[in-house]
Amino acid sequence: MQKVLDYIAANWGNTTRFNPVSEGTLIGLPHPYTVPCADGAFQEFYYWDTYFTSRGLALQGHPELVRDNCENLIYEADELGFIPNGNRTYYLDRSQPPVFGAMLELTGSVYPEDRAWLRRAARALELELHFWKYRRRDRCGLTHYGTDATEEQLMAFYPCCVARLGYPAEATEEEMRAAAREAMAEAESGWDFNPRFERRCPDFAAIDLNSLLVRSRNELGELYRDLGDLERSDEWKHSAEIRKELIHCYCWNDRRGVFLDYNFVTKRHSNVFSCASLFPLWCGIATPEQAESTLYAVEHELECEHGLAACEKNDSGRVYQWDYPNGWAPLHFVAVEGLDRYGFTDAARRIARKYVDTVVRNFERTGALWEKYNVVTGSVDVKDEYKMPQMLGWTAGAFVYAADYLNGH
């Protein structure tokens, strides 16, 4: 374990960038920022990756880079009215899972008692929540993933659908646009690509997304409380409770005993149980009974010898990288912290241990950390849509967190 921790500590600088001026498709940011990989793929500032990376940075003594990352997210919200998938112009049609509230909570714990920062943070988080409320609202009062892509952008994205999802190269323009619209919405989910949404992502009130929006509303309520604006604090806390009730109404599945994505068009739940169902625990919106039921399902459907599979075994018949038997860093992080929140410390420690051991074993074999792992074999022989890159980023962040958790901190 220590060799991996030392490797991570020695390499944060290799994944730090500073590009204050926009150039080509790259959007300049005013502060240094972290990227997932030291070289090759993923040289951008990705939204939800940044939170999990920053958890590792905070634990390894880099509060200044945590704040720089957060300041860049605030800058994007202020300048663009939302936080894009990444700092490229071709990402401006979509966002990613809204972990901004959690990022503000983390940064506030590193830099407490900064009222000027609190005011800026609250304004930026309101802009973030405005985006999801008015551009992604669904028919049942919850929120779905989507895209604001133009017809030209949809057509430009279609080759990705062919390369990664197996769509036919020959299709009508209408078919191409429809396929690209669904795939770009799924890219906004951060789970690009997966079987959860049955290739109908914009039709689903996603359980992870809506749980995160409850957490963000509660965090905004806390920010206003700290600023002494109790009226606005109460308003946002009340808004969080309303959304929580809607999630319980539409996303809880009594038969399976878990929260599931809800198709508000067909009025039924997704057929696929996944680690997304752990987000209600991480965000604190599950009842104790629901949390216990979720743990039972996780242990029987998602937990494997070497960690958690993103999704249960299913018969989609397609190759998705966010699917069984692949295990991903942020999902292990959410599982461990979410289960611990509800007092399931034995399960949390067991899952943390599996993730740490898998990362260590493959580091010893390859000398690197990886984007994802096969949690059935414990190897890097994964289901892939592209050549898997070596990765620091959230793999490092989740590893540092899990190691710290196992050490009892």
Query: Is 206 in contact with 191 (CB distance < 8 Å)?
Result: no
Supply 380's token pair.
């890097």
- Band (pLDDT 50/70/90 cuts) for residue 316 is confident
Domain contains 201:
yes
Q: What is the pLDDT of residue 113?
A: 67
* Structural domains in the chain (count): 1
- CA distances (Å), origin 308, targets 212, 259, 287, 328: 20, 17, 22, 8
Tell me: pLDDT of 124 over 70: yes
Mean pLDDT of 121-130: 97
To which residue do tokens 């209600």 refer? 280
Phi, psi of 309, deg, nearest 5: -75, 145
pLDDT digits (tens, 9 = 90+) for 14-53: 999 999 999 999 999 999 999 999 998 999 999 999 999 9
Torsional sign, CA 205, 207, 212, 213: positive
Domain contains 160:
no
The Cα 28–Cα 279 span in angstroms is 32
Closest CA to 199 of 214, 223, 178, 182: 182
pLDDT digits (tens, 9 = 90+) for 44-92: 999 999 999 999 999 999 999 999 999 999 999 999 999 999 999 999 9
Note if the pTM is more than 0.85: yes
Q: Which of 97-111, 194-208, 222-236, 253-267 has the lowest mean pLDDT?
A: 97-111
24: CB partners within 8 A, 6+ apart: none
Domain contains 177:
no
Closest CA to 361 of 379, 337, 376: 379
Domain contains 163:
no
Q: Which amino acid is at 17?
A: R
Mean pLDDT of 259-272: 98
- What is the CATH classification number for the domain harbouring 58? 1.50.10.10
What is the residue range of 44's domain?
Answer: 2-145+189-406
Domain contains 159:
no
What one-character DSSP code corresponds to residue 19? -
Mean pLDDT of 263-267: 97
Q: What is the pLDDT of residue 317?
A: 83
**Which segments of 309-384 does DSSP mark as H helices, in order?**
329-341, 345-366
Tell me: pLDDT of 268 over 80: yes
Domain contains 162:
no
Q: Does 303 participate in catalysis according to the annotation?
A: no
- Band (pLDDT 50/70/90 cuts) for residue 112 is low
Tell me: pLDDT of 331 over 90: yes
Domain contains 171:
no
Q: Does 192 participate in catalysis according to the annotation?
A: yes
Tell me: pLDDT of 338 over 90: yes
Closest CA to 250 of 207, 189, 196, 199: 207
What one-character DSSP code corresponds to residue 28? P
Mean pLDDT of 126-136: 97
The Cα 407–Cα 404 span in angstroms is 5
Supply 56's token pair.
């590792």
How confident is the prediction for the chain on average, in pLDDT?
A: 96
Domain contains 376:
yes
Active-site choice (192, 301, 312, 323): 192
Q: What is the pLDDT of residue 110?
A: 76
